[in-house]
């Protein structure tokens, strides 16, 4: 899977997908954007189909802050593949999800 790190989140069309993770409230989306802009976390995208935001919380530990897949691409295992790829990239031994 080819995950791309989103560098300029405010200009990226992946915001449309991230909206599914934060809900319809515009303020929640702005908070998520600020979170990634402040380098507290890293947002990855898979094409324009899905995104995964993580926060590193230890040497081999991470927290999933946001995860979303566009409706047309759900039920295809994309979210699981993104998680597996992040585990591989960071060599994680522990991962938790913020709910």
Residue 62 φ/ψ region, left for φ over 0, alpha for ψ in the -120 to 50 degree band, beta for the rest? beta
Q: Which of 67, 31, 42, 33 is CA-nearest to residue 52?
A: 67
Q: Looking at residue 78, what is its pLDDT?
A: 98
For residues 71-98, average pLDDT: 97
Name all domains of the chain by residue range, CATH numbers in brackets: 4-97 (3.40.630.30)
Phi, psi of 54 (to 5 degrees): -130, 160
For residues 60-74, average pLDDT: 98
Q: Looking at residue 76, what is its pLDDT?
A: 98
Tens-place pLDDT, residues 8-62: 999 999 999 999 999 999 999 999 999 999 999 999 999 999 999 999 999 999 9
Q: Looking at residue 51, what is its pLDDT?
A: 98
């Amino acid at each position: 899977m080819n995950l791309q790190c989103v560098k300029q989140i405010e200009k990226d069309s992946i915001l449309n997908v991230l909206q599914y993770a934060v809900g319809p409230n515009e303020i929640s989306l702005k908070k998520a954007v600020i979170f990634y802009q402040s380098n507290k976390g890293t947002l990855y995208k898979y094409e324009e189909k899905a995104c995964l935001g993580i926060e590193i919380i230890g040497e081999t530990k991470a927290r999933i802050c946001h995860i979303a897949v566009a409706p047309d691409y759900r039920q295809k295992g994309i979210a699981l593949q993104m998680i597996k790829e992040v585990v591989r990239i960071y060599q994680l031994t522990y991962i938790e999800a913020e709910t």
